[in-house]
Amino acid sequence: MDIDNFPPPCIPLSPILGDESISSIDHQVTIPSINDATYKLETTSGRAALSIALEKCNVTNQHEVLVPSYHCESMISPALRLNAKVIFYNVNNDTSPDIADIKRKITAKSKAIIVTHFFGFTEDLTEIKDLCDENNMFLIEDCAHAFFGEVNNKPVGTTGDYAIASTMKFFPVFDGGILASDKHDLSNVLLQKPSKSFQLKSAINSVEKALSYKRLGHGGQILKVLLSIKNWLWNLIKNSHPNSQNLTNVPGSSEGGFHLDENWINVKSTIFSSRIIKRANFSVISEKRRTNYQLLHEALSTLPTCEPLFKKLPKNVTPLVYPLKFHNPERYFETLKEKGVPIWRFGEYLDNSITEDEFPISCELSRTIFQFPCHQSLTQQELDWMITTIKDTVKA
């Protein structure tokens, strides 16, 4: 079956607006996050932040950038944009970086290395940071999967020279990324304000997504009527102005694409997204994600022909998803998708240079790991339905 023909997920794949994510009370109990970095910029996406980070590292066509062989397009396109050569390094079975392979691949042209905290499980970067210092390289922490967490009693994102995050993965927003640094001032990076049409689109999309999954209570019925009027007016404007395509122009990252939009690199995140994150209760979000992860782990980790990518959930980890390895993934993927189970497959499409001979672990992770949502917006009923559907499908 063509992937475009699958029905939409019956439950949300990512966070949506609701009381569990936003609080009017200042959260007095703080937890470590990339937000603790000294310098921060709010961008439209994580890949936009990565593009700016590589520019700040003075990467040019004379340089090499080391990237995990387990990756998605948005991790390599910022380096290719600067005409740098991308050098892939191996990861281990638990997605941690292969230090020995990194050492082998550092050359005089190596300018920066990107290290990813996959699925929210933070990595100890001490040895890699020492390697960077020895070889005059920049370390960029990819925290797209790890907005929260700490390593060696330091908040995630504060070990490297620069760090990037994707707020869309952890908060109910349509756009958003973060460029952070604990070592380099970012005040000389100029970002332009997003257009009014994009500001409106960002707010409306977040509300529409919540309504599609029957959130926002009784007020949602009123909002549905208002949004119906909005859609009618919007279509009227587009039909009467053939050149109004720019009114609906949005970053590809906001609509699930992996390519890099040049025009959105130096644009600020919208006011709506920024305020949602500022009002978010970080400790509640982390606690709910950890609870949901443990429920999935207890129910699915012993399924036949399956095994969890991680055997346990460390104390200081706030997971992005629940990664489960399927020994025969082709037997289950289409069936689960047809039933409306939300599945995320990070690294499903690797660069053509990633071969089984040179990068067997990355190829296996790409093929066999399904990631199921554990975000804070899931209800108990939705979790129960997802667990039951997965178990019934595997055991059938």
Position 389 scores a pLDDT of 98
Q: Are strands 110-116 and 138-142 parallel, antiparallel or unpaired?
A: parallel
Q: Which of 156, 181, 206 is the last residue of a domain?
A: 181
Would you state the pLDDT for residue 51?
A: 98
User: Are 47 and 125 found together in one domain?
Assistant: yes
Least confident among 38-42, 159-163, 255-259: 255-259
Mean pLDDT lowest among 166-175, 252-261, 289-298, 362-371: 252-261
Q: How many whole angstroms separate alpha carbon 271 and alpha carbon 284? A: 23
Asked if residues 131 and 161 have their Cβ atoms less than 8 Å apart, the reply is: no
pLDDT of residue 242: 52
Collapsing DSSP states into helix, strand and coil, what is residue 390? helix
Find the helix or strand (DSSP H, E) in which 177 lies.
Answer: strand 177-181
Is the predicted pLDDT of residue 221 greater than 90, yes or no? no
CATH code at position 331: 3.90.1150.10
Q: pLDDT tens digit string along 292-329?
A: 999 999 999 999 999 999 999 999 999 999 999 999 99
Is residue 332, in this structure, part of any structural domain at all?
Answer: yes
Does a structural domain hold residue 17? no
**Ramachandran category for residue 176: left, alpha or beta (phi over 0 → left; psi -120 to 50 → alpha):** left
Answer yes or no: is pLDDT of 219 > 90: no
What would the mean pLDDT of 56-60 be, rounded to a whole number?
A: 98
Question: In whole angstroms, what is the distance from residue 162 CA to residue 129 CA?
Answer: 12
DSSP symbol at 255: G
What is the model's pLDDT at position 240? 55
Could you tell me if 336 and 254 lie in one domain?
Answer: no
Give the best-scoring range by mean pLDDT among 28-42, 198-212, 287-301. 287-301
- Domain of 40 in residue numbering reads as 34-181
The answer to whether residues 54 and 171 belong to one domain is yes
More confident residue, 28 or 40: 40
The pLDDT of residue 236 is 52
270 is a domain residue: no
Q: Do 249 and 291 belong to one domain? A: no
- Name the residue with higher pLDDT: 252 or 111: 111
Same domain, yes or no: 160 and 287: no
Does residue 391 form part of some domain?
A: yes
Residue for token pair 């995140």: 269
Q: At which of 158, 181, 204 does a domain end?
A: 181
In a domain, 364, yes or no: yes
CA gap 120, 243 in Å, rounded: 43
Count other C-beta atoms under 10 Å from residue 334's C-beta: 12
Q: Say whether both 43 and 164 belong to one domain.
A: yes
Q: Last residue of some domain: 181, 211, 243?
A: 181
* Same domain, residue pair 160 and 221: no
Q: 19 pLDDT exceeds 80? A: no
Answer yes or no: do 56 and 95 share one domain: yes
Same domain, 156 and 60: yes
In this structure, the strands spanning 138-142 and 162-165 are: parallel
Q: What is the pTM of this model?
A: 0.91
Look at residue 166 in the predicted model and tell me its pLDDT.
Answer: 97
**277 belongs to a structural domain:** no
Asked if residue 265 belongs to a domain, the reply is no
Question: Per the domain annotation, does 28 fall within a domain?
Answer: no
Q: Are residues 71 and 132 in the same domain?
A: yes
- What's the pLDDT score for residue 21? 53
* Angle CA 142–368–105, to nearest 5: 45
> Cβ contacts of residue 371 below 8 Å, gap of 6+?
119, 320, 321, 322, 323, 324, 343, 344, 345, 346
User: Which CATH number goes with the domain that contains 159?
Assistant: 3.40.640.10
More confident residue, 74 or 248: 74
For the chain, the domain total comes to: 3
**CA 377/CA 71 separation, integer angstroms:** 26
Cβ 370 vs Cβ 333: under 8 Å: yes
Is 105 in the same domain as 175?
Answer: yes
> Cα–Cα distance between 154 and 145 in angstroms, integer?
17
Mean pLDDT over 335-352 rounds to 96
Mean per-residue pLDDT, 285-298:
97
Q: What is the DSSP string of 57-119?
A: TT--TT-EEEEESS--HHHHHHHHHTTPEEEEE-B-TTS-B-HHHHHHH--TTEEEEEEE-GG
Q: Is residue 104 located within the same domain as residue 205?
A: no
Find the mean pLDDT for residues 29-41. 92
Give the model's pLDDT for residue 291. Answer: 98
* Of 16-25, 192-201, 284-293, 353-362, minimum mean pLDDT range: 16-25
